[in-house]
Each structure stands twice: as structure tokens, then as C-alpha cells.
Chains A and B, each alone.
Chain A
Amino acid sequence: MSNNNLIKGSLQTIILKLLEENEKMYGYEITQRVKELTAGEIKITEGALYPALHKLEAEGLLSTEIQQVDNRVRKYYSLTKDGQKQVTSKMSELQGFVENLQRILTPDLKPGFNI
């Protein structure tokens, strides 16, 4: 089943969270890390990843660094101070959404339910 549409809204949060845990990452590394963490269940498409990274960079949440790796140039992304501040709020926003979604999908759950 394709989960691309479900991932789309939370892609920025995923990127920010991964970069919070790893000091700096490059595009391909992010796709592989997500694949690894979700045992291949979630695959971030390149079509969504790179525009999201560029958008976050333009918003000043990510900074970039260019490094020579083997015989090529690699662009690393890392969190800026503003980006670090955003991780917490984006995470609680997403967690709140997941909790509410869970309540809709499982109405029997108690209101105090937390993921």
C-alpha cells in the first residue's frame, strides 16, 4: 500500500527530528535512515524529500554545508537554532494529531489516552 499521502504532511517533522538526533545528514542518508527505522515500511520518495529540504533551508530551519566526499561534492543538512526550536513544537503538533486520529479511529479509547 502506498503511504506517500500519509507521510506528506509529516515529512518536515520527520526530517527535523532525524536531524535533531544526527548532527548532519545528506539527502540519500535521510531516505535510508527512515527505511531502516521503519524496517522498509516507510519509504520517503526523492520527489518529496528534496523540495522539503530546500523549503526548510529557505525558511532558515536548516543550514547546509558542502563537503568533498571521494570524488564528489556532498551537501549536508543540519538544524539551525530556529530549527532546533521548531523540532519540539512540530513534534508535539504531530503527536497531538496522531492522538486525535487514534480517537477517531478507535472511539472506545478514553479521552486521556496518550500514545
Chain B
Amino acid sequence: MRQLSEQELDQVKRAIAAKELTSAEILMEVYDHYVSHLESYGDSEFEGELFELEQKFTHHYCKALQEKHYNSTHRGMRVLQWKIFKSQLSWPNFIVTATLFSLISYLWTTIDGRTRTVVILVPLGIILLLVVWILIKSTVKVRSIKKTLGVSNYIQSDYLKIILGQWTLILSTLTLGVLAPKNLGFTDPFTNPYYTYITFFLAILYLGYFLTLLQAWKIKSKTALI
């Protein structure tokens, strides 16, 4: 085991930067693999071993690895959030969920349509604040990797990419549920009974999503780049 010289490290960084990877997780892992491997060989073998690594970690292979990692992470987050959601329905968490559900149901019968629209914006705003907080935390964590590798291109954690994607989806439900009725010709959708169901569904969705995202982030932030 030896420490690589600055020139050797620069050569490794250039080789990795040429792969144009955007996933912080993959960049970090590939760089560590390269350095760990090269450290176990003498400086006379450096060129040959780097060439060997380049034959294994080709541009195509790294891109495929990045794509597979994104898909696995996406599936992992979905499984984790679903597990958290299910745990809210099991005893004794069920009491809290049922109480919350009953409270929202009661609230929905006592307020008018316009107020309902404002009320569903509250959890949406909280989700936005959480997403911004995750974005800041992740950017700080990824910055050190970017600094180590000296890459100038845009790199991001796959977890963050997934959360931002979910945020877009959540925002789309608001457009679809609240703004679409107006576009479909309902002159006063606030008085329509269907509107009550839509806003109620959105309130539950936003609250449920916020809780699962918060829990998932709390778990993953200890170990992942978010």
C-alpha cells in the first residue's frame, strides 16, 4: 500500500472526469475503487494498472452503472416510503393516523371551498421547505466530492434527483386537482361537491407524503448524500 502522488491522482481524476458522470454516488465509488486499486501497486505499474481499470470502467459501463444505480435508488426510496406509510397504519401508530384523519375529515365539513384551497397549500408549503432544506444539505455534501475530484460539470445525488422528481409530481396533482376544474368550464368549482373530495384527497396526499418524506430523509440523511 502506498499513497498516490499528486500527478497520479490528477491522472485518475482526469480519467474519471472524462466519463462525464453526473451521479455523485457513482463518482465517489468509482474514484475510491480506482485509488484503492492503484494504491496496492508500485509506481512503475501505475500506468498499466490505470489502463486496466479504464478497460473495465469504460464510458459505456459507467453510464449503465449510473442508470442502474438511479433505478435501484428510486426503487429503494419507494419501498422505504411505502414501509413508513404502512407503519403508520399499524398499531399503535394507527391511533395517531386515525385521529389525524378524523380531524381533517371534520375540518373539511366545516370550512368552505375557498378556505379548503388555502388549507391544502399549507402542507404543500411545508413540503417545499423540506425539499429546499434537503437540496441545501445535499449540495453541501456533494460539494466535497466535487472538490476532491475537481470536476466542473453538474453532479447531483441520485436521492436528491428522486426527491425533486417527486416534488414535481406532487405539484402536478395540485394543478390537476385545483386548476383543471376551472379550465374544464366549472365556473364556480368551490361549490361543487366533487371539489370537496378532490381537495380532501389532496390534503391527505400532501400530509401523508410530507410525513413519509420526512421519515425517509431522517433515515437516509445519516448515510446518503442528502
The residues in B between 204 and 226 inclusive whose CB is less than 8 angstroms from any CB of A are: 223-225
B53-75: CB near A (< 8 Å → 1, else 0) gives: 00011000100010011001101
A50 contacts B35, C-beta separation under 8 Å: no
Instruction: Knowing A65-B223, A73-B28, A75-B29, say if A60 contacts B56 (CB, 8 Å).
Output: no
* Contact partners of A72 in chain B: CB under 8 A: 28, 31-32, 35, 148
**Does A93 have its Cβ within 8 Å of any Cβ on chain B?**
no
Cβ of B54 to closest chain A Cβ, rounded Å: 12
A residues 69-93 near B (Cβ < 8 Å) are 69-75
Q: For chain B residues 113-156, which have a beta carbon within 8 Å of chain A?
A: 144-145, 148
Interface string of A19-58 (1 = CB under 8 A from B): 0000000111100000000000000011100110011011
B residues near A29, Cβ cutoff 8 Å: 36
**Interface flag for B33 (CB, 8 Å):** yes
Report chain A residues within 8 Å CB of B32. 26-28, 69, 72-75
If A46-B56, A58-B72, A59-B76 touch, does A51 touch B65 (CB 8 Å cutoff)? yes
- Distance in angstroms from B33 CB to nearest chain A CB is 5
- Cβ of B191 < 8 Å from any Cβ of A? no
Provide the residues of chain A in CB contact with B3, threshold 8 Å: 70
Instruction: State the Cβ distance, B16 to closest chain A Cβ, in Å.
Output: 11
Query: In the docked arrangement, what's the CA distance between A104 and B174, Å?
Result: 61
Chain B 21-55 against A: per-residue CB contact (8 Å), 1 yes, 0 no? 00001001101110111000000000000000000
B224 contacts A73, CB within 8 Å? Answer: no
Interface size class of A (residues with CB under 8 A): 20 to 34
Interface positions of B (Cβ within 8 A of A): 3, 9, 25, 28-29, 31-33, 35-37, 56-57, 61, 65, 68-69, 72-73, 75-76, 79-80, 83, 144-145, 148, 223-225
Given contacts A47-B56, A51-B68, contact A66 B73 (CB under 8 A): no
Q: Which 6 A-B pairs have the closest CB atoms?
A: A58-B76, A58-B72, A28-B36, A54-B72, A64-B223, A51-B68
Which of B35, B36, B69, B225 has a CB less than 8 Å from the CB of A54? B69
Pairwise interchain contact B76-A57, C-beta atoms closer than 8 A: yes
Query: Which chain A positions have C-beta within 8 A of B33?
Result: 27-28, 46
Contact B148 A50 (CB under 8 A): no
B75 interface neighbour in A28, A58, A65, Cβ under 8 Å: A58
Q: How far is the CA of A72 from the CA of B4 in the complex (A)?
A: 12
Tell me the complex Cα distance, A53–B29, Å.
Answer: 11
Give the docked Cα–Cα distance between A73 and B37 (Å). Answer: 15
**B37, B68, B148: the one within 8 Å of A28 (CB):** B37
Closest to B70 in A: A54
Pick from A57, A69, A70: contact of B72, CB below 8 A: A57
A63 lies within 8 A of chain B by Cβ: yes
Q: Which of B9, B29, B31, B224 contacts A50 (CB 8 A)?
A: B29
Docked Cα-Cα span, A59 to B78, in Å, equals 10
Report B-chain residues with C-beta under 8 Å of the C-beta of A59. Answer: 76, 79
Across the interface, B148 reaches (CB within 8 A) one of A57, A58, A71, A75, namely: A71
